[in-house]
Structure 1
Amino acid sequence: MTLFTRVELTDAFATFEQTVAEAARTRNWDPWVDQYTVDVDYVEHAAGTMRGREQVRPWIWKTMESFPGNHMTSFPALWSVIDESTSRVICELDNPMRDPGDGTVISATNLSILTYAGDGLWSRQEDVYNPLRFLSAAKKWCKKAQELGTLTDEAAAWMQQMGVR
């Protein structure tokens, strides 16, 4: 395994965060995917393991352009740890949802383990989280939006599909 300096790992992670922030702002997920190696392994505990950018790309677009992903506004790192010996960055990412109309902040977090491959690319990402926390956050958002009269048709359909009352 090629090892990278702390400075390179820090800079690469800063670029990762900027790319993710821009993707969330523009809702263009291609630059996010393009920061992985062509043969990336992306381990997503609820969706399984995707191999290669072209497996990750349709998944990220579908996930982030349908409820509840399309109501998540950003993915900032709350903290991060750099492990030079494994070329990894481990971080906790927040996933806040848009304001339902009264300033309420509803979010869930996940741990991500990123393995750096050099040249600004990541060869592996593993997302670790409790899906029930994301489900709970989405339900809470829907109930608050319903109460405020700001529930979108898509979120209402999701509530019905999930049996949320």
Structure 2
Amino acid sequence: MFFVGYTRAAKLSTNHGRTCSSFRVNSPQFSRSELADAFAKFEATVDAAAQSHDWDAWVQHYTPDVVYIEHAAGTMHGRDEVREWIGRTMGSFPGSHMVAFPSLWSVIDEPTGRVIMQLDNPMRDPGDGTVIGETNISIITYAGDGLWRQQEDIYNPLRFVQATLKWCRKAAELGTLDEDGARFLEQYGGAQ
């Protein structure tokens, strides 16, 4: 399956004089400053949504026909599918216990109109100040006018399960494990 903005090429193609992959990226040119400004707004929107738990503004910073690739959940097409997925994900454990999604580093790839970043996904304090979370790589593709047309989240789901189990065990040890965490621990962690 091919996604918006990609065309299959028979052999390695180049993008502005450099080899990028077996797919040619059809991207209008955006200035580095426009990409940086749009990414700063993206980060502020993510932060506000993480604090308020209102993910609609986050969904609105994508184009109406966004393609969102989430390796464990599949590929979503359009804002409505993304809105349904993020509401379900962040409204249930362990997403409901993640408190922020700051980028640890980012790279602006001006020729392709992309920003590649490593995002942290820390869970709330289990009661003693311990910070437990896991990271992922996200690639967002800019569409112009402050909107993003594609996002792909790349991560190892097993590492997220391990981090969540570590959080559950710490919360259980501290007497702060809630029912959702206890169910997760029972289902995925067994007795340890």
Relative to the length of structure 1, the TM-score reads 0.98
Structure 2: where are the runs of 5+ without partners? 1-26
Of 166, 169, 173, the match for 1:143 = 169
Higher relative contact order (CA 8 A, sep 6+): 1
Tell whether the 8 Å contact from 2:165 to 2:189 is kept in structure 1 after alignment. no
Q: What is the alpha-carbon root mean square deviation over aligned residues?
A: 0.8
After TM superposition, the runs of 4+ consecutive aligned structure 1 residues lying more than 3 A away are none
Deviation at 1:60, TM superposition (A): 0.3
Counterpart of 1:69, as a letter, is G
Larger relative strand fraction: 2
CA distance in 2, matches of 1:163, 1:58: 28
Map Cα deviations across residues 74-106 of structure 1 (whole Å, 9 max, x no partner).
000000000011000000000000000001010
Are residue 102 (structure 1) and residue 128 (structure 2) matched? yes
| Other-structure match for 1:55 | 81
Tell whether the 8 Å contact from 1:139 to 1:164 is kept in structure 2 after alignment. no
Are residue 23 (structure 1) and residue 49 (structure 2) matched? yes
Deviation at 1:65, TM superposition (A): 1.0
Deviation at 1:124, TM superposition (A): 0.1
CA radius of gyration, larger in: 2
Relative to the length of structure 2, the TM-score reads 0.84
Percent of pairs identical after alignment? 64
Structure 1: where are the runs of 5+ without partners? none
Tell whether the 8 Å contact from 2:117 to 2:137 is kept in structure 1 after alignment. yes
| Other-structure match for 2:159 | 133
